[in-house]
Amino acid sequence: MRAPAWLPLPLRRFLRVVRRYWRVLVRRVEVWSSPARRAWRRSLQLRVVALTLVASSLLVGAFGWFIADRSAKILLSRAQDEVQVSMRNRVAYAEQQLTIHPQARDPQLPKTFTLIVNQLGDGDPAESGGSVVSIRAEEYPELAAVTSPNIPTDELISRELIRDVAAEGKVARQIVTARVNDRTTKYLITGSPVPTSFGHVELYYMVPLTTEDSAANQIRTTVLATGIALVLMLGVIAGLVTRLVVTPVRVAARTAQRLSAGLLDQRMKVDGEDDLALLAASFNQMAANLQRQIVRLEELSRLQRRFTSDVSHELRTPLTTVRMAADLIFAERDEFDPAVARSAELLQAELDRFESLLTDLLEISRFDAGFAALDAEHTDLVPIVERVADRLSGLAERVGVEIELRVPDQPVIAEVDPRRVERVLRNLVGNAVEHGEAKPVRVTLASDDAAVAITVRDHGIGLKPGEERLVFNRFWRADPSRARQTGGTGLGLSISAEDARLHGGWLEAWGAPGEGAQFRLTLPVRSGDRLLAAPLPLIPRDRAPGRPDEPAGMPAESAEPQAEVV
């Protein structure tokens, strides 16, 4: 967020510097905390133990604070009760001693003050922890205060306490921490008026709370140590309990990964009869069922591929014989009746289609068996594109379609199998011509440092949403109502997709109803390289603008060569 413009320039600069350093600090914290955050996301045991420690620390801390605070209050309350009883006795003694003095100007009164405090004091508080007794008369400033032992009491007896005792004539107490004889001590100070014949005298009794503080500190230390030990013990217990649950789950995850990798004989160890043992047994049963199903499906697939391959090979021999006879009849068709001549032409056409179907089936069987090999070599793709367009020009003229080529003037060299690339282009351009609806078909070739792309664009009926993923399925047709006597074998695009995949490339389709379709073949320039992007976009630029399914940020077609009409 930018600083407001109304701020002074030095302040805006300062805020920019602070913001810059703050971003640097945030990035460094993210980098430093990355291992911890990764461990937190990946470890269920760590999360359970950490949450247990946090929750138990809060609970034990709250309970320990309550116990320590309650213990300190009990100790203080007991000390106050003892001081209260002792204070009554001291006040009674002081009152008895002061009754012999009828007035405050009695010259013997200071000696009586000294006698009282010496009698009521418990020794030096700095050495024996004894109490401090002080007596004073606020109504008679000429009477000096007397304290036993002789220590300054200005920090102990506050003006608020003197006001409550002297002015209001009530018993008051307070707790004060003061430094006496170079030692910091907490005192419970109680003040009480002592009635005399000449007025009020105030008696202050100061008891150090050293014993109570020491006991309270010992209680806090004990509660703290016990709480820490309890929290650690709970953490260890939580870790052990979580380990009992997490370990079978981790074993199940590793076993599932091995199963997904094809190791179908992997099983979990079953121990006991609890829920985890039930989980392991159920997992093993599921794995066994999956293994049986996969083995059965693989066997069926193998038998199907073998049947297709065997039938295709076995049909070659009778097809050759039928072809020889059909060629002979087709060559002599001019001498036949017109109906018989037309039958000979239909027979020749269907034999061509049947032979093409057998060829495609044999190719599919090689892909299924994993026997298809890539004969890659450095090849110029421009002549391949031109050759495909030239061979399909006759078909294009019959259906009234123009084939436009947009190829670079310079060679486009890539390490490919030229036979397979030409077959892919022949299928793509042939399908575009057949479905072009007498509108031009544009073939575009472009390349960059890593990839080569060829797009084939038609303006026919197009594809419905979702059909761009179905066109590469075997024997799939966009119009299922069409008779099987028209169109190709239904295997051309499937074989083309396998050829592209064998190169490590992509074969993708785009289409929209009424806007035609575009197929894009993308191949790596160097065989074995991984494709990251295509030099040409999949969605053409000449489509109807403003459609909602058009993705944003699609790379534009750069420096397209001039079109050549074939």
Model confidence at 194, in pLDDT bands (50, 70, 90)? confident
**pLDDT in the model for residue 295:** 82
Model confidence at 557, in pLDDT bands (50, 70, 90)? very low
**In this prediction, what percent of the chain has a pLDDT beyond 90?**
13
φ and ψ at 472, to 5 degrees?
A: -90, 0
Q: In sequence order, which residues have a C-beta less than 8 Å from that of residue 556 and are 6 or more positions away?
A: 537, 541
Least confident of 188-197, 305-314, 399-408, 532-541: 305-314
**pLDDT in the model for residue 211:** 85
Entry pTM = 0.48
45-259 CATH: 3.30.450.20
- What's the gap between Cα 72 and its chain centre? 48
Res 23 pLDDT > 90: no
Query: Angle at the Cα of 193 (from 187 to 194), degrees rounded to 5?
Result: 115
CATH fold for domain 267-372? Helix Hairpins (1.10.287)
**pLDDT in the model for residue 126:** 47
Q: What is the mean pLDDT of residues 309-335?
A: 78
Q: Which of 267, 301, 272, 271 is nearest to 285 (CA)?
A: 267
The pair of three-digit structure tokens given for residue 249, joined into one six-digit string: 């789950």
Q: Which position has the higher pLDDT, 474 or 557?
A: 474
Q: Using an 8 Å Cβ cutoff, are 266 and 258 in contact?
A: yes
Res 249 pLDDT > 50: yes
Q: What is the mean pLDDT of residues 388-403?
A: 89
CATH fold for domain 377-565? Heat Shock Protein 90 (3.30.565)
Q: What is the mean pLDDT of residues 521-526?
A: 92
**pLDDT in the model for residue 554:** 34
Res 545 pLDDT > 60: no
**pLDDT in the model for residue 446:** 92
Which tens digit of pLDDT belongs to each residue from 89-147? 888 888 888 888 877 777 888 888 888 888 887 655 544 456 888 888 877 777 778 88
Q: What is the mean pLDDT of residues 177-203?
A: 82
**pLDDT in the model for residue 129:** 54
Q: Using an 8 Å Cβ cutoff, are 437 and 459 in contact?
A: yes
The pair of three-digit structure tokens given for residue 251, joined into one six-digit string: 């074993």
Give the Å distances, CA to CA, from 192 to 189, 207, 223, 349: 10, 14, 38, 129
φ and ψ at 469, to 5 degrees?
A: -95, -15
φ and ψ at 270, to 5 degrees?
A: -105, 120
Q: Which position has the higher pLDDT, 242 or 564?
A: 242
**pLDDT in the model for residue 558:** 37
Least confident of 230-239, 365-374, 468-477, 553-562: 553-562
**pLDDT in the model for residue 2:** 62
**pLDDT in the model for residue 362:** 72
**In this prediction, what percent of the chain has a pLDDT beyond 70?**
89
* b/e burial code for range 46-73 (CB count within 10 A of at least 16 → b): bebbeebbeebbeebeeebeebbeebbe
Model confidence at 485, in pLDDT bands (50, 70, 90)? very low
Distance from C-alpha of 117 to C-alpha of 146, rounded to nearest angstrom: 7
Res 549 pLDDT > 70: no
Least confident of 57-71, 92-106, 383-397, 508-522: 92-106
Distance from C-alpha of 16 to C-alpha of 2, rounded to nearest angstrom: 8
The pair of three-digit structure tokens given for residue 391, joined into one six-digit string: 């061979």
Model confidence at 167, in pLDDT bands (50, 70, 90)? confident
Crossing angle of the two packed helices 109-120 and 44-98, in degrees rounded to 10: 140
DSSP string, 427-451: HHHHHHHHTSTTS-EEEEEEE-SSE
Q: How would you write 353-386 as a 3-class SS string?
A: HHHHHHHHHHHHHHHHHCCCCCCCEEEEHHHHHH
Q: Which position has the higher pLDDT, 18 or 309?
A: 18
Residue boundaries of the structural domains of the chain: 1-42, 45-259, 267-372, 377-565
Hey, is 204 helix, strand or coil? strand
Average pLDDT for the chain: 81
Q: Which position has the higher pLDDT, 291 or 362?
A: 291
**pLDDT in the model for residue 225:** 92
**pLDDT in the model for residue 477:** 65
* Element housing 53 (H / E): helix 44-98
Distance from C-alpha of 414 to C-alpha of 411, rounded to nearest angstrom: 10
* Element housing 196 (H / E): strand 183-196
**pLDDT in the model for residue 560:** 41
Q: What is the mean pLDDT of residues 38-65?
A: 86
Complete edge-to-edge strand list for the sheet that includes strand 199-208: 146-148, 132-136, 199-208, 183-196, 172-180
**pLDDT in the model for residue 562:** 39
The pair of three-digit structure tokens given for residue 468, joined into one six-digit string: 């761009």
Distance from C-alpha of 349 to C-alpha of 558, rounded to nearest angstrom: 43
Res 280 pLDDT > 70: yes
Q: What is the mean pLDDT of residues 167-173?
A: 81
Crossing angle of the two packed helices 44-98 and 210-260, in degrees rounded to 10: 170
Res 544 pLDDT > 60: no
Res 7 pLDDT > 80: no
Q: What is the mean pLDDT of residues 258-280?
A: 79
Q: What is the mean pLDDT of residues 226-253?
A: 85
Q: Which position has the higher pLDDT, 559 or 416?
A: 416
Distance from C-alpha of 405 to C-alpha of 443, rounded to nearest angstrom: 5
Q: What is the mean pLDDT of residues 515-536?
A: 90
Q: In sequence order, which residues have a C-beta less than 8 Å from that of residue 309 and are 6 or more positions away?
A: 361, 362, 365, 369
Model confidence at 480, in pLDDT bands (50, 70, 90)? low
